[in-house]
Amino acid sequence: MGVKVEQVGPYLWRIPPDARPGMRVPALVVADERLMAQIRNDASLEQLANGATLPGIVKAALAMPDIHQGYGLPVGGVVATDAVRGVVSPGAIGFDINCGVRLLRTELRQAEIAPRVESLVDALYAAIPTGVGSQGRVKLDARALQQVMAAGAAWAVGQGWGEGDDIERQESNGCIPGAQPEHVSEHALERGRRQLGTLGSGNHFLEVQVVDEVYDEAGAARLGLSEGAVTVMIHTGSRGLGHQVCTDSLRLTERALKRYGIAVPDRQLACAPVDSEEARTYLGAMRAAANFAFANRQLITHWAREAFTRTLGLTPRQLGMRTVYDVAHNIAKEEEHEVNGHRRRLLVHRKGATRAFPGQPVLVPGDMGRYSFVLLGTEIAMRETFGSTCHGAGRVMSRTAAVKAARGRSIARELEARGVLARATGRDALAEEMPEAYKDVKDVVEVVHRFGISTRVARLRPIAVIKG
C-alpha cells in the first residue's frame, strides 16, 4: 500500500506526518515529476515514512533524488536525531559503513594515455584486488588493525602509502573522531584483516575518466580540474569489517527496543537511545569501521599511482596524481545545525547521501557507461537538508533483474563500443551493474543543482573501469 505524497514545489515532495501511524515529522523528497514516477515503483517512500517515526527525529525524514529501496531506511535517505535525546539506528546508516568515493586528478590528457589505455586498465586490475572476499596485499596483525581503525587514512600515509596532502582533501581528514576499535567484534576483525586495499564487489569500482565538460570554471580550477584532463574515481567502503559491525549492531539494537520501550514499524530500523550503552558501542564501532574505509581508499590510491607511473613510464611529478576529495556515503556524524531558529547538536544519519557543506566538493558517480559529476555544497543545503545531497544515480533495476536483462548480451563489448574498457572478476559483475540498471545520473544532478543543495562543477566521462 502506497503512502500519500503531495508536491510542494518544483523539486520537493511531502509525505504528511499523518500518512502513517507513529510519524513524528513529515518526510520530504527532493525530486522532479519524472524521477518521482520512478521512485514510486518500489517501497522507498514507505521506508522513508517509517524513518519519520524514529524517536528524537527533527524537522523531517529526507530523501535525495537517487532514493531507492534499501534495508530499513531507503538508500538516499537522511535522518537527523537529537544528539542528546534522540536515537541511533544502524539500519539508517547501512551495512557498508563509509562506502564512499575518492576522486584523483592528474596532469595527463586523454591523448597522452590513449595508446596505452588497455595496458593501463590491465595494470590497475592486476594491482588492486577485486571481487567477493578478495584479499589485499597488506596483512594486518592485531595491533596494526587497531591503529587503522583509530587513525584512518593517516595510518596508511604514515606507512608510506600516500602523500601528506591526501589527508587534507578528505571528509573529516580521513578519520572520524570517537572511534572505539575495542567495540569491533572478533568476527568483524577477522573479516577485515586481509581486506585492506581491496575494491570488493557489487557497485564498487575504480574508473579512469576524462573531464569532458566544465560548468563552473572557477570551481573547477580550485579543484585542479580542466577539460580533457584524466581523472581516477575510486568507489568502495569498509568491506567485510563494516558489514559485520552493522550485523552485530542490528542484533544489539533489536534487543534494545523492548528494554527502552521503543516501537518502530519495521525492525530493520531497530535503534537505541544515543546515551545508552548499546548506542555507544555501535557508534564507537561504526566510527572505527569508517576509518578502516578511509584507509582502504588510501591504499587503493597508492597502488593506482604506482600502476600509472609504471605503465606509462612517468615520474610521480609528471603524473601529478593528487586527491581532489574523498566523501563518505553511509555514516552518522555529530553536527550542529539550525532548527527552527536555534542551533542544535544533531546525529545526522546519511545512508547513500553525501555531505554537502558550503564549498565542499561533492562526488556523484553515475553508471559505468555514461558519466559522473563533481559538484560543490551550498548554504541552501545547510538550511534544507542538513548539509546533504545525492550520492549517485540510484538503481531502477535489481541485480537479479539486470542479470536477466543481460542474457545473450556482452556488456563488456557494449561498453567498449561506447569507448569504455572494462575488467571484472565476478561472472555477472558487469551485467549486475550495466548502465540500464541505474537512473541517468544527469537527471539526479539536474534536480539537486536546480533545488540549490549542490551546484555543478564538472562532468567526467569513463574510459576504463575495473569491478569485482
Distance CA 306, CA 193 (A): 23
Which member of 302, 337, 391, 449 is catalytic?
A: 391
Distance CA 61, CA 53 (A): 9
3-state secondary structure of 167: helix
**Beta-ladder partners of 63:** 29, 77
Cell of 181: 576499535
Residue among 149, 112, 65, 71 at smallest CA distance from 366: 65
Are the C-beta atoms of residues 152 and 175 closer than 8 Å to each other? yes
Q: Which amino acid is at 139?
A: K
Distance CA 454, CA 328 (A): 16
**∠ CA 47-30-212, rounded to 5°:** 120
Residue for cell digits 524537522?
Answer: 59
- Residue 228 Rama label (left phi>0; alpha psi -120 to 50; beta): left
Q: Which amino acid is at 33?
A: E
Residue 155 Cα distances to 101, 165, 179, 299, 324, angstroms? 19, 14, 14, 10, 19
Are the C-beta atoms of residues 374 and 169 closer than 8 Å to each other? no
Residue 68 bears catalytic tag? no
Residue among 209, 208, 206, 210 at smallest CA distance from 235: 206
Q: Give me the active site residues, please.
A: 391
